[in-house]
Amino acid sequence: MAEIQAKNQLLKNLKGIHLWHAPMSSCSQRVRLVLAETKTIYESHVINIAKDEHATKSYQAIHPNGLVPAIIIDGRLFIESIDIIELLPENDSDLLLHRDVSLLKKADQAQMDLKLLSFEFLFKGAPLQIKEDFDEFQVNHKNDQLKQFRVDLSNGFERDRIENAVARTHNHFQKLENILSDGRHFLGGAIYSLSDVAWTPNFHRFNLMNWPFEDTPYLRNWFNRVSERESFELALLTWENKDVMRDLNNYTRQRKVLGTDVRAFGTLANF
């Protein structure tokens, strides 16, 4: 369980549930899904990643790696979305009882590829960061991995790196398709669980990129089911900015027309 020591007394004194999260972050979406499913009241602290609010001193004093989400539950601080979602439900809740821990782990492992492909196929459509902001992030943020990612992004990702991420993502989705192909409604069986929570943001994100989900019909039907739940509306859709979504859509369409969308990076064996 990823409990860490809160650095300042003000955090330790916080009562109830406080969530530091970003509207479009898949890790935050996961946590908000569970909060919605469990109808938990929480205080929201929005961190605007596009504005580098995760690089501030005050935020890095909460999350030592300067990532979202972070959550305080009655003065105790937790990070790592996959651990947080296991903490929130009651011990005897279906969310916990029907989860498959290995699927939660896989969602965690899929995170870096989701990030790479999101930046390549969606967020690159946003205006480029100005040099001053880029430099400021390199100075202010303490997480070397994040800083290197920004450098790589500005230089352009190598084709190999993108193809490998696409291949690994394809394997993950294929595994989910295989699980669902026995006709079950949810990843853990007949009952919605944390396994579904963990993978919902991934499907949603790749769907925005026009990932070829027509090749995994069980998975596509599963997503139709989970996205009909009220929690999907509350945890994902209401946090999406219409203008941003329009820009992402336009960028996806543009790459499709140019023949450089995500489908152009799958090898024949994949797609």
Total residues contacting ligand GSH (rule CB under 6 A)? Answer: 14
Q: What mask, x for binding ligand GSH by CB under 6 A, covers residues 16 to 35?
A: ---------xxx--------
Query: By C-beta, is 46 or 146 nearer to ligand GSH?
Result: 146
Q: Which of 23, 59, 80, 179 binds ligand GSH (CB under 6 A)?
A: 80
Of the listed pieces 38-46, 66-74, 191-199, 248-256, which binds ligand GSH according to CB under 6 A? 66-74
**82 lines the binding site for ligand GSH (CB under 6 A):** yes
Q: What is the 3-state secondary structure (H, E, C) of the chain?
A: CCEECCCCHHHHCCCCEEEEECCCCHHHHHHHHHHHHCCCCCEEEECCCCCCHHHCHHHHCCCCCCCCCEEEECCEEEECHHHHHHHCCCCCCHHHHCCCHHHHHHHHHCHHHHHHHHHHHCHHHCCCCCHHHHHHHHHHCCCHHHHHHHHHHHHCCCHHHHHHHHHHHHHHHHHHHHHHCCCCCECCECCCCHHHHHHHHHHHHHHHCCCCHHHCHHHHHHHHHHCCCHHHHHHCHHHCCHHHHHHHHHHHHHHHHHCCCHHHHCCCCCC
Q: Which of 67, 162, 180, 262 binds ligand GSH (CB under 6 A)?
A: 67
Site residues (CB under 6 A) for ligand GSH, limited to 111-150: 111, 146
Query: By C-beta, is 152 or 163 nearer to ligand GSH?
Result: 152
Binding site for ligand GSH (CB under 6 A): 25-27, 49, 54, 67-69, 80-82, 108, 111, 146
